[in-house]
Amino acid sequence: MLMAGTSKRQWVVHVVLITMLFLTFLPYLFMVMTSTKTNAQMVHQTWIPTWPIAWANYAGAWGLVSRDIVNTLIVAGTSIAGILTTATLAAYAFARLRFRGKEVLYMLILALLMVPSVLMLIPLYLEIVTMRLTNNYFGLILPYIAMGQPFTILLTRGAIATLPEELFEAARLDGASEWIALRAIAVPLIGPVLISAGIMNFLTIWNDYVLPFVVMNDPNKWTVSLGVAQLQASFGVTPQWGVVFAGYVIATIPLLVIFVLGMRYFVRGLTSASLSL
C-alpha cells in the first residue's frame, strides 16, 4: 500500500511538472510556429503547423533587425569587457588587499543592488545629455559598465576570497606583484565565475529596452530590443505577422548560442559563487 501510494504521488508530480513545462514553452513554440506562416495561414490555421513553410519571413525579418543585432553586439561586447575588467580589479582589492574603509566601501557598493534602476533613469539621462552622449554607443556602454559593477563585484570578490592564501604568498616570495598575482593566479582560477557574470550581464543588456529608448533616437543606432519592438509598426496598418515573429526568433538566437556554449561554465560558476557567498 505504501509503495502504491508513493508511486501515485510521483505520477501526479510528474504530470504536474510536465504540464507546467509545456505551458512554459508554449509561447516559444507558438512564436516559432507563427514565424513560418503567411498572414492567411495565421488567420485560418493559428494553432497548428502549416505547409508550405514561409521561409521568406526570415529573410524579410533579417533585413529589418540585422543592423539592430550588430549594434547590440557592439554595445554588449564592449560593456561586458569593461564590466569584467573593472569588477575583477575591484573584487581583487576587496578580497586580497588591506586598506582603510574597505568593508564600508564594499557594503556601499552592494547597497546599490537594492536601488531599482528606474529610479536612476532621470539623473542618468541628464548626465548623458550633459556629456553629449545621446545617439552614441558610449551613452549606453558607460552606464552599463557602471550598473554591472555591484553584482559582478559580489560574485568575483567571493570567488577570489575562497582561493588559498598560500598561492598568493608563494607568488609574492617569487617576486610577483599584485598585478601578476591577479593575472596569473586569480583570473584563471575564477574563470567560470567570470563567464557566469558575463552571461548574466549580457542577458540584461540584450533585453534592456528602457535605457536604449531614452538614449538612442537615431534608428540606425537602435539596439535589438528597440528594433524588435518596432517590427509591428514598420508594416503600417497590416502587419506581416510571420515576419514579425521571425524577427523575434532571430533576436533570441544569439542568447541561445551564448547560453549553450557557456552553459557548463555558467553552472560551474554559479555553484562556485554560491559556495563562496
In a domain, 79, yes or no: yes
- CATH number of the domain within which 139 lies: 1.10.3720.10
Q: Would you give per-residue pLDDT tens digits along the chain (277 residues)?
A: 445 555 777 888 888 889 998 888 888 888 888 888 888 887 777 777 788 888 888 888 898 888 999 999 999 999 999 999 999 999 999 988 888 888 899 899 888 888 888 888 888 999 999 999 989 999 999 999 999 999 999 889 988 888 888 888 888 888 878 888 888 888 888 888 898 889 889 999 998 988 999 999 888 889 998 888 888 776 666 778 888 888 889 988 888 888 788 777 666 655 655 555 5
pTM for this entry: 0.84
Q: Is residue 204 part of a domain?
A: yes
User: Which amino acid belongs to residue 161?
Assistant: A
| Cα separation values, 151 from 24, 32, 65, 272, Å | 27, 33, 30, 15
| Residue 228 within a domain | yes
Give the cell for residue 40: 492567411
**Domain span holding position 154:** 71-250+258-276
User: Which phi and psi (to 5°) does residue 137 adopt?
Assistant: -55, -35
In a domain, 213, yes or no: yes
Closest CA to 205 of 265, 136, 255: 255
The letter for the amino acid at 90 is A
24 occurs within a structural domain: no
Q: How many CB atoms lie within 10 A of CB 99?
A: 8
Residue 8 lies in a domain: no
How many domains does the chain contain in total? Answer: 1
Is residue 6 situated within a structural domain? Answer: no
Would residue 262 count as lying in a domain? yes
